[in-house]
Structure 1
Amino acid sequence: MPKAYVFTRYGGPETEALMEVARPAPGPGQVLVAVRAAGINPVDWKLRTGHVRPGDGEQVFPAVLGREAAGVVEEVGEGVEGFAAGDEVFGNTVAGGYAEYALLSAEVTAHKPAALSFASAATLPVAAATAYDGIRHLDLPAGATLLVTGAGGGVGAAAVQIARATGLSVVGVASEGKKDFVEALGAVHVPSGPGWDARVRAAAPDGVDGVYDLVGGDVLAEAAGLLTDRTRLITAGAPVEEVERLGGARVARARTAAVLEEVARLVVDGRLDPYITRTFPLEQAGEALRTVEDGHARGKVVIEVAR
């Protein structure tokens, strides 16, 4: 039986295990993929703790971790067109990506360009697509200044690069330890911590034209104070009611194959680097998730599945 890294109940890392599971069968609108790589995101451990997002539905245990994967099509479900066995693809998972086999939603699955590695492709459906959707949502004109909070994480790093590729100037807030990384992305680095908003005002004396928040809480509220037009405030790090109270909005997610194709093109063209900082085999999925859960990971962490 194929292996998968699962959580058996809501809780901490003690709920996780590498198990043998039945090979999933694709339902209508689904694609079964032999996984080559899976990306790791904060949402993975948040779901394990019991954080449920609208539309997630009731959790069935054991539940396979992971929301994005890349691999080779094994089977397609009823009604699926444009995919066939042997196709190299990447997309959003239906039932977990930390596994030897995963189900992807055909609507949010794209063909992998030959020039794109499986590991790089596996980083795109969550972080890069969220970043891309946010930059499109803000729709700032070329030459405008964008503030990105949490600029050193997976979504933040992608947002900085995509913003730069569209002609924006970027100020990135991140820990002092991520200064070189944020600057390498093309942003002006501002250290996080108390007084960070004053440091942004000093770094951008003409002000900022938009804010892409990836932190939430007090940081989101302080970031809102840097804007004269609160409609230019978006977040992927706070609940919708929290940002709407400040006059902003949650990132409007497209969740389409077209977005995946676009971010893949940015990587192939050299305008977006996934910045994969560490890779782990499936057998070390727990260790891989810890590197993201502790909040200090730079760029993206990826699980590679041997074949």
Structure 2
Amino acid sequence: MPKAYVFTRYGGPETEALVDLERPRPGPGQVLVAVRAAGVNPVDGKQRTGFRRPGESGGRAFPVVLGNEASGVVAQTGADVTGFAAGDEVFGSAVAGGYAAYVLSAADVTAHKPAELSFADAATLPAAAATAYDGVHRLGLPAGATLLVTGAGGGVGVAVVQIARALGVRVVGVASAGKKELLESLGAVHVPAGAGWTDAVRAAAPEGVDGVYDLVGGEVLHEAAGLVRDRSRLVTAGAPAGEVERLGGARVARARDAAVLRAVADLVVRGDLDPHVTRRFPLERAGEALREVESGHAVGKVVLEIGAGA
């Protein structure tokens, strides 16, 4: 039977297990994908503890497959699906977890994978890169403007930096000292996280910042709000909507459609976006991969290689 990496109840890593699951059947509007690679993100571990994305409701039936994004080859299509056929190389958001040999994906949030794009790179795009893309375009900063990115060294942050730089936006990125070399290689001004970071931002951008993309939340978000000239150009993917709205900003509104997936894939193909896949693990070591991401010390993206040709 096909393998999947799941959590069996809410809690910590002790709830995780590699199990055999029946191959899913695609329903109307769905495609069944034989997975080649799956992205690993901090939110995967949060969901294991009971975290829900904004708008999610209803109970979960255990075991729950971990993960949110995957790439692979269409194995079967459900009723009312057009534009996809068995054998197509695709990537998208998994309906019910991506750490598995087979996943279901809604056809309207699935995109064809360009031949120039590897399965591993494609698997990193539906969550982190698409979130980055939606937020940068929500801000709408013109070329020459200055964008402050908090938590710039993570998967979303690295994508935000590159997408903004491709639009001609100057980027000041707040991240740990260990992420300095990476951020500077992407064209960002690095500011070390920790005490005094706001003073360092003011020194790096003496005329102020035109927009903030926050990926941390909490006190960092509140401090960042004090640095932006126009609070309507403050967005977060690291804090609840109510918290940022009280500051005059907004939570990143995800488009969650195939058009965004195609757009970020085109950025990779053009060389404007490098997913920076730095670690690859087999499905059997999914727990180890998730621990690395949860630690906050991973540089670049971590993926699971599940099928041949990832």
Q: TM-score range by the shorter chain?
A: over 0.9
* Cα pair 1:33 1:73 within 8 Å, conserved: yes
* Cα pair 2:9 2:62 within 8 Å, conserved: yes
| Residues 121-140 of structure 1 aligned to structure 2 (within 5 Å) | 121-140=122-141
Detail structure 1 runs of 4+ shifted over 3 Å in the superposition.
none
Gapped regions of structure 1 (runs ≥ 5): none
Partner Cα distance (1:306, 1:39) in 2: 13
How far apart are 1:5 and its partner, in Å?
A: 0.2
Partner Cα distance (2:181, 2:3) in 1: 38
Gapped regions of structure 2 (runs ≥ 5): none
The aligned amino acid for 1:27 is G
* Cα pair 1:233 1:249 within 8 Å, conserved: yes
How far apart are 1:70 and its partner, in Å?
A: 0.1
Partner Cα distance (1:209, 1:179) in 2: 22
Partner Cα distance (1:215, 1:64) in 2: 26
* TM-score, reference length from structure 1: 0.99
| Residue in structure 2 matched with residue 232 of structure 1 by the alignment | 233
Partner Cα distance (1:14, 1:28) in 2: 35
Partner Cα distance (2:185, 2:61) in 1: 42
Partner Cα distance (2:57, 2:102) in 1: 21
The aligned amino acid for 2:16 is E
Partner Cα distance (2:279, 2:58) in 1: 32
| Residue in structure 2 matched with residue 41 of structure 1 by the alignment | 41
| Residue in structure 2 matched with residue 62 of structure 1 by the alignment | 63
The aligned amino acid for 1:287 is E
Do residues 32 (structure 1) and 43 (structure 2) align?
no
Q: Secondary structure at the match of 1:183?
A: helix
Partner Cα distance (1:142, 1:290) in 2: 38
Partner Cα distance (1:86, 1:128) in 2: 25
Partner Cα distance (1:265, 1:227) in 2: 31
Partner Cα distance (1:68, 1:60) in 2: 20
Partner Cα distance (2:187, 2:66) in 1: 32
* Cα pair 1:281 1:306 within 8 Å, conserved: no
* Cα pair 1:224 1:230 within 8 Å, conserved: yes
Q: Secondary structure at the match of 1:156?
A: helix
The aligned amino acid for 2:247 is L
* Cα pair 2:159 2:275 within 8 Å, conserved: yes
How far apart are 1:57 and its partner, in Å?
A: 2.7
How far apart are 1:228 and its partner, in Å?
A: 2.1
- Compute the RMSD of aligned alpha carbons: 0.7
Q: Secondary structure at the match of 2:275?
A: coil
Partner Cα distance (2:52, 2:113) in 1: 30
Do residues 22 (structure 1) and 22 (structure 2) align?
yes
How far apart are 1:206 and its partner, in Å?
A: 1.1
| Residues 203-242 of structure 1 aligned to structure 2 (within 5 Å) | 203-242=204-243
> What is the count of residue pairs matched by the alignment?
307
* Cα pair 1:160 1:185 within 8 Å, conserved: yes
How far apart are 1:146 and its partner, in Å?
A: 0.3
* TM-score, reference length from structure 2: 0.98
| Residues 47-126 of structure 1 aligned to structure 2 (within 5 Å) | 47-53=47-53, 54-126=55-127
The aligned amino acid for 2:265 is A
Partner Cα distance (2:261, 2:144) in 1: 26
Tell me the percent identity.
74
Q: Secondary structure at the match of 1:202?
A: helix
Partner Cα distance (1:178, 1:28) in 2: 44
Q: Secondary structure at the match of 1:105?
A: strand
Q: Secondary structure at the match of 1:45?
A: helix
How far apart are 1:60 and its partner, in Å?
A: 0.9
| Residue in structure 2 matched with residue 256 of structure 1 by the alignment | 257
Do residues 170 (structure 1) and 176 (structure 2) align?
no
Q: Secondary structure at the match of 2:235?
A: strand
Partner Cα distance (1:221, 1:141) in 2: 24
The aligned amino acid for 1:90 is F
